[in-house]
Chains A and B, each alone.
Chain A
Amino acid sequence: MSARPGFPIPVPSEDSAPFWEYLRQGELRLQRCLVCATFAHPPRLMCPECGSFDREWVAVSGRGTVYSYVVTRQAIHPSFEGHTPYATVVVELAEGPHLTSNLIDVAVDDIQIGLPVEAVFVAVSDEVTLPLFRRA
């Protein structure tokens, strides 16, 4: 278990509970429409493409590239004092959807758009495991 002081722990909701439960079991699964196969992330009740309520949770590769990133160099909230600089990335998964996350093994000044990455699973509490990424 790796606590992340300052970073809020996600609160699973009715829509997103399966996403977090699969992560706890070490799997990255995203919600996909059973009718038209469109991914939806963050998860929701209804498919915005075709209107279906029939959804499935599909395992994805966890591989992707850095689509964009920011580096927080000043603690703009008091809870982040002492934890800067840190980088937040948007990863474009091979399957298409975007995930917001952090990189565990890349210095903030070495991050570039297009960097290949893969998912790793890091438990932050008994209930919650986060999908983080490392250089692929």
Chain B
Amino acid sequence: MENFRNRVAIAGVGETEYSRASGRSETRLALDAILHALDDAGLRREDVDGLMRWSVDTSGEAEIASNLGVRDLAWFGEVNQAGNVGAALVAHAAAAIAAGLAHCIVIYRGVNGRSGRRYGRGEVTGRRGQGAAAFTEPFGLLTPQHQLAMVARRRMHEFGTTSRQFGWVAVSEREHANRNPRAMFYDTPLTIDDHQNSRFVVDPFHLYDCCLETDGGGALVLVSAERARGLRKPPALIRAAAQAGHGERGFVDTAAISLAPRLWAQAGVGPDEIDVAQIYDHFAPYVIFALEDYGFVARGEGGPFVEAGGMRWDGGVLPVNTSGGHLSEAYLQGMNQLIESVRQVRGESTSQVEDVHLSFCDTGIGTGAVILERDR
């Protein structure tokens, strides 16, 4: 069966300012972002016939549709995990458009992640000792950070990756944020010593291994590639988009071990052909682990790769998280990185990589990824 390769495009992107206190509701943030994205694409509110959302968010599609004035909501849905579903939503929406089930799908979110519900405290994902959490939370593993730190420790043990190498992820991303006026850490330098001297939160994670907490909104507008070519901005063609859920994997394996072979086959390209990457950096070490598990570098080589400057915009082999990522731009759980990956295809990034053909975006350490292509 034919896949949707390059038949659907991201035609518009929009975001609000990123802050610690937005001063408005999550629905208002989502609507502001959607209006920016439609304007970016040169589309109108009445063009929208599909809405998709993160299941953990508060703004339902009916509420958004009734505010936007959507005339006939032909396609809606959510993907139910946590913050990691951005690429999965792109895959669902692309499949729907390629199948003719809808024509203009907006993927949106608005979150008061700092002034409202704070992910880092387990307020969104905590289960109070119920279900599978009965075997983790009573022992103090309360948040995703705890689980991820547990895997990181074992991975350091097996492959020799060091905290200082984690630090080079944080420092590289901060350099990018310092070139990006939208970033929450714009104009705020970070050195490797700052990272190493910062307090531990959940050891082995230092403070500067951890993502920001952010209030903000973001939106993507997807239409057919054919239609996108007639709109305001150059289309970001969806060359591949895929997701990975439960899988038989080892303790230290990220989901990229399952996803990577399918993703690269779907795209018909390999990691060597990617020009720029955005990788879900809720915690700095996971950029290294994702680089390894997607096959950009071999297991154990990710630490030395980032230490040698491999992910820096300035001279790196593969610039990663060029807007500053979740560590230094904003933590919109994949949304801001999807937006940055579109900018790289259009030539609009504040840390623009030259001559980008293929722009990679992981939105959850192997649980989902998108490969965007510049139109020829």
Contacts and interface: CB of A to CB of B under 8 A. Distances in A.
A102 interface: yes
B138 to A, nearest CB: 5
Interface in A50-89: 67-74, 76-78, 80, 85-86, 88
Interface stretch (B62-70, B141-149, B253-261): B141-149
A68 B128 CA distance: 23
A68 B202 CA distance: 13
A102 B157 CA distance: 20
B209 to A, nearest CB: 12
B120 A100 contact: no
B150 A88 contact: yes
A98 interface: yes
A46 B199 CA distance: 44
B113 to A, nearest CB: 14
A41 B136 CA distance: 12
A136 interface: no
Contacts of B150: 68-70, 88, 90
A70 B128 contact: no
Nearest to B200: A73
A93 B278 CA distance: 38
B131 A7 contact: no
A124 to B, nearest CB: 8
A130 interface: yes
A100 B154 contact: no
B140 interface: yes
B300 interface: no
B112 to A, nearest CB: 18
Interface residues of B, number: 35
Given A76-B201, A88-B150, A102 B139 contact: yes
B135 A10 contact: yes
A10 B134 contact: yes
B299 interface: no
Interface residues of A, number: 35
Interface string B104-137: 0000000000000000111000101111111111
Q: Is the interface of A mostly helix, strand, loop or mixed?
A: loop
B204 to A, nearest CB: 7
Given A67-B251, A68-B154, A70-B204, A9 B146 contact: no
B136 A72 contact: no
A11 B202 contact: no
A113 interface: yes
Nearest to A74: B201
B343 interface: no
B129 A73 contact: no
A102 B154 contact: no
A13 interface: yes
B203 interface: yes
A72 to B, nearest CB: 5
Nearest to A11: B130
B146 A8 contact: no
15 contacts: A7-B137, A8-B128, A8-B129, A8-B137, A13-B131, A16-B134, A42-B134, A67-B154, A70-B204, A72-B202, A74-B200, A76-B122, A76-B142, A77-B121, A124-B138
Interface of A: 4, 7-13, 16, 41-42, 67-74, 76-78, 80, 85-86, 88, 90, 98-102, 113, 124, 130
Given A67-B251, A70-B141, A72-B201, 15 more contacts: A4-B138, A7-B137, A8-B133, A8-B137, A9-B129, A10-B135, A11-B129, A68-B150, A70-B153, A88-B139, A88-B146, A90-B154, A102-B140, A113-B153, A113-B157
**Across chains A and B, which 9 residue pairs bring their CB atoms closest together, nearest first?**
A8-B129, A10-B134, A68-B154, A71-B203, A70-B149, A73-B200, A11-B130, A8-B137, A10-B138
